[in-house]
Amino acid sequence: MDRTAEPPAGRVRAAFLGPAGTFSEEALLASAAPGAVEPVPAASIYEAVTSLREGRCELAIVPIENSLEGSINVTLDLLAERAAEVQIVGEALLRVRHSLIAAGEVPLTEIATVVSHPQVPGQCTRFLRGELPGAEIVPAASTAEAVRSVVAAGDPHVAALGTTLAAKIYGATVLREGVEDRSDNETRFVWLARAQDAARGAPLRDAGATARRRCSIVFWGAGADHAGWLVRCLGEFAERDINLTKIESRPRREAMGSYMFFADLDRGVDEEPVRAALDGLRGVCEEVRVLGSYAAAAPSA
């Protein structure tokens, strides 16, 4: 990643999981206002967030959950750890289509290995079990990297699960399109900014397309091992008629049984009921962190 080159006038740098041709790049291009962003590929989600924290980029866009496979754990963990430095300032929904891609034309019966991002095979289980039951699944840093590596290797027994955009960029051959289990497969991405810049938001193409606000939080507490603690926490929102669109737990990587809880609220943090609920939550939790308050994305096309 070039740390010195300045983006074109009027643009801000935005890191994404690269290389070129990933779903992250597609989400960036589909959701950013035309001409507002200079895409900067990163080797991993961690590197994308790090480039933002260290000032090499002004924004980053990272996947946070998929409708079939659930949350992207590395993103949740990074947000929890870096909530004081990095905030969610926007979101985007991308309809996801996976393709089987090879260096050249090859019968499916000759493919022994399939390379892709670890999140992808679980979204294509029917195809893999039905068409490639004996193929070894090998992880790659991203779907685009999987396609790039398959083309570079030139091995007719290896294929990748990736995007048609990546196939075009790297001169690969699409063997089969639409191999995902469901046609309504979607991935949710979040736009990130440094905490001190969060008020600026993200330069989104459809800014204002939906009036709904969303607030993302993470919380944990010493009382989590007592009966009714989580119910008491959630009661702070129920009592104020605040809908939770998501809640899940993640280990805090400390003692066994130590968890943190992520929740998305269907309201903005600037609304009085939300502020009151968070105050109440802080009364029963060791830690409550607001990961961001932002406009909810319009449904993907």
Q: Tokens 């008020």 appear where?
A: 199
Q: Can you tell me the mean pLDDT for 93-122?
A: 95
- What are the phi and psi torsion angles at 72 (to 5°)? -90, 105
Q: Which CATH superfamily is domain 12-95+185-198 in?
A: Periplasmic binding protein-like II (3.40.190.10)
Task: State how far the Cα of 23 lies from the Cα of 63, in Å rounded to an integer.
Answer: 9
Task: For residue 207, name the pLDDT band (cuts at 50, 70, 90).
Answer: low
pLDDT at 4 over 60: no
pLDDT at 301 over 70: no
pLDDT at 276 over 80: yes
Task: State how far the Cα of 136 lies from the Cα of 110, in Å rounded to an integer.
Answer: 12
pLDDT in tens, 38-91: 999 999 999 999 999 999 999 999 999 999 889 999 999 999 999 899 999 999
Domain boundaries, the chain: 12-95+185-198, 99-176, 213-295
Task: State how far the Cα of 258 lies from the Cα of 239, in Å rounded to an integer.
Answer: 26
Kindly list the distances between the CA atom of residue 149 and the CA atoms of 13, 153, 234, in Å, as whole numbers in the listed order.
26, 6, 46
pLDDT in tens, 251-265: 987 777 688 999 999
Look over the chain and give the mean of its residue pLDDT values, rounded to a whole number: 91
CATH classification code of 99-176: 3.40.190.10
| 99-176 and 12-95+185-198 share a CATH fold | yes
Domain 213-295 -> CATH class: alpha beta
pLDDT at 144 over 60: yes
Q: Can you tell me the mean pLDDT for 220-226?
A: 76
Task: State how far the Cα of 208 lies from the Cα of 300, in Å rounded to an integer.
Answer: 15
Q: Give the pLDDT score at 221.
A: 87
pLDDT at 133 over 60: yes
Could you tell me what percent of the chain has a pLDDT over 90? 80
Q: Can you tell me the mean pLDDT for 228-236?
A: 93
pLDDT at 153 over 80: yes
Task: State how far the Cα of 150 lies from the Cα of 10, in Å rounded to an integer.
Answer: 37
Q: Give the pLDDT score at 9.
A: 59
Q: Give the pLDDT score at 147.
A: 97
pLDDT at 222 over 80: no
- Tell me the two tokens of residue 159: 């294929």
- Do 45 and 54 meet the contact criterion of CB atoms below 8 Å apart? no
